[in-house]
Each structure stands twice: as C-alpha cells, then as structure tokens.
Amino acid sequence: MARDTRERIVAVARDLVHGASLAEVSTEDVCKAAGVHKGSLYHFFPSKEALGGAVLDHNWDMMHAVLEESFADDVPPLERVDRFVDSFVRMLTLMRERFGATPGCPLGGLAAEVAGHGDEGRARAGRVLAGWMGYFATAISEAKGRGDVPADVDPRLAATRVLALMQGLTLLAKAHDDPGIVLLAKADIRLLLRASG
C-alpha cells in the first residue's frame, strides 16, 4: 500500500510537471491531485527537490524503455537513430493528446531544474543525460565503423550535439504545439554528422 501511494504521488507529480514545470507545481498541488496529506508526501520525499528527482528517475525509466526498443541492433545504426526520433515524436503526440498541448521533453527541462538543486541534483541530471547520449554515441560509433559517417567524427561529441539538436527541436515543438517539428531531426542529424567530420 505504501508503494502504491509513493507511485501515485510520483505519477501525479509527473503529470503536473509535464503541464507546467517543477517550479510551478506546489506540494499542495501534488497532495490535492494525489488525494494524500502532506505528511504522506513528506514521508516518501523529504523535499520538493527529492520529489523532482523521483519524477526525473521515473521519466528516465520511461525514456530508457523507448531507447532500448529504438536502438535494438536489428537495423543499421543511423536507422536506429531515426527509429528513436519516430518513437519520440509518437510519445510527444500521445502526451499532447493527454495534456491538451505539446509538452517539452520529459527529461530535458526537468533535468535542468533538478540540476539546479545542488551537487546531488546535478549528478542525477548528468547521469540521465549521459545515459541518453550513450545510445547516440554507440550508434554513431557503429556507423563510423561501417563508413556511414566520416572517420574523424568523435562519437561522444557528436552524441552531445545530437542531444542538443533534439532538445532544441523539442522546445520548438512545444512553442508551436506541433510534435512533428521534431521529425526534422532525422535529416538534421545526418547533416550534423557530416559536418562534424
């Protein structure tokens, strides 16, 4: 029962944060929407920052599942990146249907907020983003080995640029309420990789 309460609090906080930001969501908002008293929330999360970290972890678990499926090695490496972009756009589209507007990235904005909560928050956000970039870096490294990208491309640096591109396009998708904008990443990633060489 306690686990159910904790999971409900995280799920409600996640939904509220997707509609706004961690800074805009109060603990009162979370308690009211989750149907719990503040004591229950603070039993599991000693601070709002701890709750934000739990939401980031939950969102990473969700994204990790999408990444694992997208980057399965049944297709060439750059096609895996395309498959991820398609999956990411589907996820944003489903979130748009659920929340009434295109949200920002479920990791990017929240990671930036959590990183502002001291060393622990920065380390947590860094681990999440490094995990995401690792999928891109592996695919780019494999593409480099196949001759699909220039031989002098640094996969880690290129992965950082790819993630930055994805975050920027997701911001534009949110601003224009159009998840499809992120599909530009497919061609843009190819251009970026050619220019990185």
**How many residues can be counted in the chain?**
197
> CB-based burial of residue 5 (10 Å sphere; 0-12 exposed, 13-18 middle, 19+ buried)?
middle
Helix (H) or strand (E) holding 72: none
* pLDDT value of position 19: 79
54-196: CATH topology is Tetracycline Repressor; domain 2 (1.10.357)
pLDDT digits 0-9 by tens, 6-63: 999 999 999 999 878 899 999 999 999 999 999 999 999 999 999 999 999 999 999 9
pLDDT digits 0-9 by tens, 114-149: 999 889 999 999 999 999 999 999 999 999 999 999
The span from the CA of 28 to the CA of 45, in Å, is: 13
User: Which residues, 6 or more positions from 32, have their beta carbon under 8 angstroms from its beta carbon?
Assistant: none
CB 34 within 8 A of CB 12: yes
The full set of domain ranges for the chain reads 54-196
The span from the CA of 101 to the CA of 94, in Å, is: 10
Label residue 197 by pLDDT band (50, 70, 90): low
pLDDT digits 0-9 by tens, 68-84: 999 999 999 999 999 99
User: Which residues, 6 or more positions from 113, have their beta carbon under 8 angstroms from its beta carbon?
Assistant: 21, 22, 23, 52
